[in-house]
């Protein structure tokens, strides 16, 4: 194999196979390399050292409390103005009713994320958490992106650690990775100008980790960013993970272009998707898991991504999220049975494992 490795990446290839960390310049070199098979081989070797052939999924559902939002991100297809016919804003009681509709299903996680409604505060979020925990204490609540948390913590007047501790007492178990978008400040000022800064996003995750709340991280890629911006994003995450160790998984989110103001950038190819998974796996040597979020990526690409470093495909979802169907993803009603997910994983040559949110094994399928 070594004879076929181009000179410019031979050193990087050796480093990756020896389990050594690569530098930002080396990460950039990998993005610029067009040798997709080689990237797959390197990323797969990193994933095998960490997770063998195991590929994780869980049984989960989403609740989106509102699609009304004080922010107006250019990539968002989901936000609606308050008062419009298709805007919604659920009360904590209505959210509990949605949770109750899953009483007869063996779900282990509810993922709650939505717009930043001007009226929501820490009491509203606390009430949601408390009601769910009273009703179904063992259900893991992965809730509220750092952008939602930023808003309610500011409103409460608490320092981040105190606000997060309060939410933890109400029942917050972990934080999803949304709102990271792309950390570069210049790009952020174009695609989500008035939103939580990168520094604040990282601060909230750091404080969460310190008070014992684990989290995920995302990147929104495939729009106007350059490879340098992706590496900068990965580097900021890798540094924070060195400090706290609180991230579970990294989730690259492919930009989908329908019904939003960024359609002019189009969507990147499947080659670019796979390259992005592979470089993410190789670069983030301190992240235990890389997730392909199938409702955003599509099922076939998700299956393929398993050969490019991905070891997690998220969950069954049960048709409970609208964020990606509105942005043009193939699955307009995203839902997979456990059998569908296991087949998708086996077809790619890997072994399906049902996990809980914190990657404890529920069942090896
Ligand atoms: O932050 C919004 C993205 C995110 C578009 O932690 C878009 O397990 C592409 O964070 N094209 C929210 N992406 C979803 C999210 C998430 C999803 C799955 C699992 C986890 C986890 C977290 O969705 C937003 C934004 O980056 N997004 N619009 C779009 N048009």
pLDDT digits (tens, 9 = 90+) for 339-362: 999 999 999 999 999 999 999 999
Whether pLDDT at 246 is above 70: yes
Ligand 1 centroid to 265 CA: how many Å?
Answer: 18
Q: How confident is the model at residue 1 (pLDDT cuts 50, 70, 90)?
A: low
Burial class (CB in 10 A: 0-12, 13-18, 19+), 363: exposed
**Is 178 close to ligand 1, i.e. is its CB under 6 Å away?**
yes
**Which pTM value belongs to this model?**
0.96
Q: How confident is the model at residue 176 (pLDDT cuts 50, 70, 90)?
A: very high
**Is 76 close to ligand 1, i.e. is its CB under 6 Å away?**
yes
Whether pLDDT at 2 is above 70: no
| Position 249 in a domain | yes
**Is 327 close to ligand 1, i.e. is its CB under 6 Å away?**
yes
| Position 364 in a domain | no
pLDDT at residue 351, as a whole number: 97
pLDDT digits (tens, 9 = 90+) for 13-45: 999 999 999 999 999 999 998 799 999 999 999
CA 46 to chain centre: 20
Q: Please report the atom of ligand 1 found closest to the CA of residue 77.
A: 30
| Position 206 in a domain | yes
pLDDT digits (tens, 9 = 90+) for 302-312: 999 999 999 99
| Position 120 in a domain | yes
Q: Tell me the average pLDDT across 149-175.
A: 97
Integer Cα distance of 281 and 294 in angstroms: 17
**Is 146 close to ligand 1, i.e. is its CB under 6 Å away?**
no
Ligand 1 centroid to 149 CA: how many Å?
Answer: 16
pLDDT at residue 321, as a whole number: 74
Q: Please report the atom of ligand 1 found closest to the CA of residue 257.
A: 30
Q: Determine contact, residues 296/256, Cβ cutoff 8 Å.
A: yes
| Position 301 in a domain | yes
Give me the number of domains the chain comprises.
1
CA angle, residues 343, 347, 349, in degrees to nearest 5: 120
| Position 365 in a domain | no
Closest-CA residue, ligand 1 atom 2, reads 76
For 155, the domain range is 2-358
Give 174's strand partners.
142
Three-state helix/strand/coil letters over 229-287: HHHHHHHHHHHHHHHHCCEEEEEEEECCCCCCCCHHHCCCCHHHHHHHHHHHHHHCCCC
Q: Tell me the average pLDDT across 148-169.
A: 97
pLDDT at residue 3, as a whole number: 66
Task: For residue 53, give the CATH number of its domain.
Answer: 3.20.20.70
| Position 198 in a domain | yes
Closest-CA residue, ligand 1 atom 30, reads 256
């Amino acid at each position: 194999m070594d004879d076929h490795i181009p000179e410019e990446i031979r050193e990087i290839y050796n480093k990756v196979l020896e389990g050594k960390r690569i530098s930002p310049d080396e990460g950039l070199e990998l993005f610029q390399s067009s040798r997709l098979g080689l990237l797959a081989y390197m990323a797969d070797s990193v994933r095998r050292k960490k997770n063998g052939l195991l590929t994780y999924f869980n049984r989960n559902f989403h609740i989106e409390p509102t699609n009304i939002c004080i922010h107006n991100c250019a990539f968002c297809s989901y936000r609606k103005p308050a008062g419009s016919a298709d805007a919604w804003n659920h009360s904590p009681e209505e959210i509990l009713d949605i949770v109750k509709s899953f009483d007869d299903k063996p779900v282990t996680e509810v993922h709650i994320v939505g717009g930043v409604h001007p009226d929501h505060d820490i009491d509203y979020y606390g009430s949601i958490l408390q009601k769910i925990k009273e009703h179904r204490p063992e259900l893991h609540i992965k809730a509220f992106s750092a952008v939602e948390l930023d808003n309610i913590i500011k409103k409460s007047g608490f320092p981040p650690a105190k606000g997060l501790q309060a939410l933890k007492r109400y029942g917050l178990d972990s934080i999803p990775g949304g709102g990271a978008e792309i950390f570069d400040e210049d790009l952020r000022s174009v695609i989500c100008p008035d939103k939580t800064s990168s520094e604040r996003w990282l601060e909230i995750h750091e404080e969460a980790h310190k008070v014992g709340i684990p989290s995920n991280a995302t990147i929104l890629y495939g729009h106007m960013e350059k490879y340098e911006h992706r590496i900068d994003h990965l580097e900021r995450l890798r540094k924070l993970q060195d400090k706290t160790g609180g991230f579970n998984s990294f989730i690259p989110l492919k930009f989908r272009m329908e019904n939003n103001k960024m359609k002019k950038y189009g969507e990147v190819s499947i080659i670019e998707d796979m390259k992005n998974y592979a470089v993410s796996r190789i670069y983030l040597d301190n992240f235990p898991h890389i997730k392909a979020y199938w409702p955003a990526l599509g099922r076939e690409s998700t299956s393929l991504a398993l050969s490019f470093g991905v070891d997690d495909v998220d969950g069954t979802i049960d048709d409970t999220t609208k964020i990606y169907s509105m942005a043009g993803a193939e699955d307009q009603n995203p839902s997979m049975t456990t059998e569908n997910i296991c087949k998708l994983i086996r077809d790619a040559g890997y072994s399906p494992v049902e996990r809980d949110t914190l990657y404890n094994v529920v069942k090896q399928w």
